[in-house]
Amino acid sequence: MASGDKKKPARSRVVLTDISSRAWEHPADRGALVALRKLKGFDVLLKTMSGVFRERAWRLTLLGSAVRVDERQFERLHRLLAEVGRSLDTEVLPEMYVQADPRLNALTIGMDKPIIMLSSGLVHHLDDDELRFVIGHELGHAISGHAVYRTLLMRLLGLGGLLNAIPGGAIGIRMVTVGLLEWSRKAELSADRAGLLASQDPTAALRTHMKLASGGTLDELDVTSFLQQGAEYDEGGDVRESLIKLSLLQQQTHPFAVVRATELRRWIDTGAYTAILGGDYPRRADDDTASVSDAAQEAAASYSDAFERTQDTLGRLVHDLAGWMGQASGWLNDRFRRGGGDVA
């Protein structure tokens, strides 16, 4: 019997009425999304194109090869999806499928009608509380519209062939790709926060990351040691290790599992999670008035905080350089203002 088959007493969860996805989006993710949401029409066009061709192919493939979750098939998963939808106050829920795959994996595809896919390995190894976190994570992707805007940027990257013919064009595309992958990693941190808000069980969220890192077992794992790994990764070492970490992340769409656990714990420790459960969060009704400049400033501040916090040698260097540049800029501005006053 799988661990998830064990019945546990029902636990009430806070319904986050009218919660906006901005509540769980990482500042670096939110900054991009707020700006892209202002581009009215582009998402509608991409949804239409994807719905006509690719999404229908995806759905037909799943209908023919996987198991669709409903009231009679994987009833447990059907119930968990309804529960996380209730917590995040969303009535429109994606279709969900279980696909034969021993790996622990889940993803959300589609723009017009998102679809959640869970691997059979994930369903087998995770209990109800952990699955609730994973399903909430995927629902967070769907609500935030990550697939829509990721596709928009990927279509823009399709111009790479043309830009390669232009001197310096390949470098420009490479820079955009690096930026896109960085955004994708931050989107995963956003979805982790959505999963936590949906499940409202920090311990289950940590267990999930531990299982993802270990291949599904907790029997020989220790929470303190696991989180210490994340701290050690943050601390880094000399410049060589910093550069190695940057190279390792170049092609990664997801942060490492240990890093994700550390980042989620850090977000909880800020008090944001508790505040949201207490009702302090942005509402969907105000999404249209969200400020692009405010979101951009929050994104910049989040990177500054990360550099200031890190013990990584390269991170400290970048942070110190930014500080020196800021001081130099202030000194120059002050000198020019004085000079202007003397001339006047």
3-state secondary structure 249-315: HCCCCCCCHHHHHHHHHHHHHCCHHHHHHCCCCCEHHHHHHCCHHHHHHHHHHHHHHHHHHCCCHHH
What pLDDT, on the 0 to 100 scale, is given for residue 191? Answer: 96
Question: Six-digit token pair at 164?
Answer: 């390669």
- Chain centroid to CA 308: 22
Question: Six-digit token pair at 181?
Answer: 């992958």
- Chain centroid to CA 334: 41
| Nearest-5° Cα angle at 74, 70 to 76 | 100
What pLDDT, on the 0 to 100 scale, is given for residue 319? Answer: 45
Cα separation, 221 vs 212, whole angstroms: 12
Q: Is the pTM of this model over 0.85?
A: no
Question: Six-digit token pair at 321?
Answer: 């350089």
Task: Transcribe 186-235 into DSSP letters.
Answer: HHHHHHHHHHHHHH--HHHHHHHHHHHHHTS--TT--HHHHHHHHHHHHH
What pLDDT, on the 0 to 100 scale, is given for residue 183? Answer: 79
Q: Contact, 53 vs 59, CB < 8 A?
A: no
Q: What is the mean pLDDT of residues 109-123?
A: 90
Q: Name which residue leads in pLDDT, 157 or 233.
A: 233
Q: Name which residue leads in pLDDT, 218 or 322.
A: 218
pLDDT of 76 strictly over 50: yes
What pLDDT, on the 0 to 100 scale, is given for residue 157? Answer: 56
pLDDT band at 2 (very low <50, low <70, confident <90, very high): very low
pLDDT band at 253 (very low <50, low <70, confident <90, very high): confident
Matching residue, tokens 């942005």: 282
Q: Which helix (H) or strand (E) holds 50?
A: helix 42-52
| Helix, strand, coil percentages, rounded to 5, for the chain | 70, 5, 25
Which residue, among 29, 4, 70, has the nearest Cα to 204 in the 3D structure? 4
pLDDT of 302 strictly over 80: no
Q: Tell me the pairing of strands 95-99 and 115-119.
A: parallel
What pLDDT, on the 0 to 100 scale, is given for residue 297? Answer: 65
Q: Tell me the pairing of strands 67-68 and 95-99.
A: antiparallel
Q: What is the mean pLDDT of residues 150-170?
A: 58
Other CB atoms within 10 A of residue 300 CB: 13
| Nearest-5° Cα angle at 190, 188 to 195 | 90
Q: Contact, 235 vs 314, CB < 8 A?
A: no
Q: Contact, 114 vs 94, CB < 8 A?
A: yes
Q: What is the mean pLDDT of residues 272-300?
A: 83
pLDDT band at 343 (very low <50, low <70, confident <90, very high): very low
Describe the crossing of helices 54-65 and 42-52 by its angle, rounded to 10 degrees.
40
Q: What is the mean pLDDT of residues 143-160?
A: 68
